[in-house]
């Protein structure tokens, strides 16, 4: 309750409002319960104290065991994430998204977490990153696996970790996910759009780097026994779009994504009832509940292949079904070969 009597305050206030609209410094109203000063100081300094404690603990543990138990670099990733989120909350409405609903600053705030996953969790080895142009349009075509699209996330992160000119990769997702709550919001805001030829063309015309998974949900929803066997590459629509937009196709093969969620069965009737493409059963899901959503830490290899220069064809070659199917097969073969080569290179799933 304010100390001033109400009658005295009303009239001068009205006059003030009429006369001028000067900015005034508004002090926050005192809250009901105010903590003692010492407690408030402690609250303010808590993050710094926690960090100091963690550094101390890390040093002690290293001295005691001779190993790096708590890697401070990893911890810093999460701290950075927390601070970036706070910064994002402070920008209010002073941000803009592009016409597709992409918010670069917001997307980059997640990178610190994805980088930890990239380096330490899946220990991704990326080769051929020099095949991706630093500027201009290109269409990345990759194999799709793993029940959840972590492969797309890791390709995006690879562009930021490995490439000398980091760029945002704009992936195309099935329209099905655009109808799902939370996913639709997250995917759009991080730069994804619907896998529609019209959208692909528009993105390429804006000289973006577009990622497409021609296998679609057939690739992510395949059983574990069929791992690393590429599915049909749609109907070659991605080739037509690339030819029309004059963008080179860069095949990308990903190894390791198949083992993150070994899918032993598919509950097709449940999936049909829920309107989902598949409902997976893995050794951990749904038995362990949300813990079953944790992907396995398999060893990943991502290879960017030499670009296939389809932009050398005239735009009306996009209607030549023979050429389009031949090129689609070529892309598929390159990716399949890359997958096999990388599989040979690894000694076990985790190494």
How many CB atoms neighbour CB 33 within 10 A? Answer: 5
Smallest distance, another protein to C-beta of residue 314, A: 23
DSSP for 240-259, please give it: HHHHHHT--EEEEEEESGGG
210 DSSP β-pair partners: 139, 170
Distance CA 256, CA 262 (A): 11
Q: Residue 137 CB, nearest distance to another protein (Å)? A: 17
Q: Per-residue contact track with another protein, 35 to 54, x per CB under 8 A?
A: --------------------
CB of 117 to another protein, least distance (A): 24
Question: Nearest-CA neighbor of 309 among 138, 162, 167, 194?
Answer: 138
Q: Which of residues 176-195 bind another protein (CB under 8 A)?
A: 176, 178-185, 188-189, 193-194
Interaction residues for another protein, span 139-168 (CB under 8 A): none
Assess 222 for contact with another protein (CB under 8 A).
no
Choose among 155, 189, 190, 193: nearest CA to 177: 193
The answer to whether residue 199 forms part of the interface with another protein (CB under 8 A) is yes
Compute the distance between CA of residue 291 and CA of residue 343 in angstroms, rounded to an integer: 28
Q: Which is nearer to another protein, 75 or 178 (CB)?
A: 178
Binding mask 86-125 for another protein (x = CB under 8 A): ------xx-xxxxxxx------------------------
User: Between β-strands 209-212 and 138-142, what pairing exists: parallel, antiparallel or unpaired?
Assistant: parallel
- Cβ atoms of 215 and 236 within 8 Å: the answer is no
Q: Which of 105, 175, 273, 341 binds another protein (CB under 8 A)?
A: 175
141 close to 252: Cβ distance less than 8 angstroms: yes
Min dist CB 101 to another protein, Å, is: 5
Q: Which residues bind another protein (CB under 8 A)?
A: 92-93, 95-101, 175-176, 178-185, 188-189, 193-194, 196, 198-199, 202
């Amino acid at each position: 309750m304010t100390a001033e009597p109400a009658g005295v305050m009303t009239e001068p206030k009205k006059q003030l409002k009429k006369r001028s609209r000067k900015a005034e410094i508004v002090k926050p109203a005192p809250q009901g319960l105010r903590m003692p000063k010492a407690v408030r100081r402690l609250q303010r300094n808590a993050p710094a104290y926690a960090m100091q404690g963690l550094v101390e603990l890390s040093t002690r543990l290293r001295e005691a065991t001779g190993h790096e138990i708590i890697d401070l670099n990893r911890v810093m990733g999460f701290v950075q994430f927390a601070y970036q989120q706070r910064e994002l909350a402070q920008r209010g409405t002073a941000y803009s998204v592009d016409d597709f609903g992409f918010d670069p600053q917001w997307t980059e705030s997640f990178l610190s977490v994805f980088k930890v996953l990239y380096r330490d969790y899946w220990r991704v080895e990326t080769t051929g990153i020099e095949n991706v142009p630093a500027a201009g349009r290109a269409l990345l075509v990759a194999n799709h696996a793993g029940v959840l699209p972590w492969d797309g996330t890791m390709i995006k992160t690879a562009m930021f970790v490995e490439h000398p000119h980091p760029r945002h990769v704009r992936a195309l997702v099935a329209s099905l996910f655009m109808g799902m709550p939370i996913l639709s919001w997250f995917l759009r805001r991080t730069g994804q759009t619907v896998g529609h030829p019209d959208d692909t063309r528009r993105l390429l015309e804006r000289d973006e780097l577009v990622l497409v998974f021609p296998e679609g949900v057939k690739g992510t929803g395949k059983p574990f026994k069929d791992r690393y066997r590429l599915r049909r590459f749609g109907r070659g629509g991605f080739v037509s779009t690339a030819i029309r937009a004059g963008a080179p196709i860069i095949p990308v093969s990903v190894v390791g994504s198949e083992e993150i969620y070994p899918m032993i069965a598919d509950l097709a009737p449940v999936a049909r009832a829920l309107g989902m493409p598949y409902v997976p059963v893995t050794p951990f899901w749904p038995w362990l509940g949300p813990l079953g959503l944790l992907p396995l830490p398999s060893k990943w290899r991502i290879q960017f292949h030499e670009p296939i220069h389809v932009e050398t064809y005239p735009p009306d070659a996009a209607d030549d079904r023979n050429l389009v199917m031949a090129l689609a097969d070529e892309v598929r073969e390159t990716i399949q070969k890359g997958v096999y080569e990388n599989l040979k290179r690894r000694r076990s799933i985790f190494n």
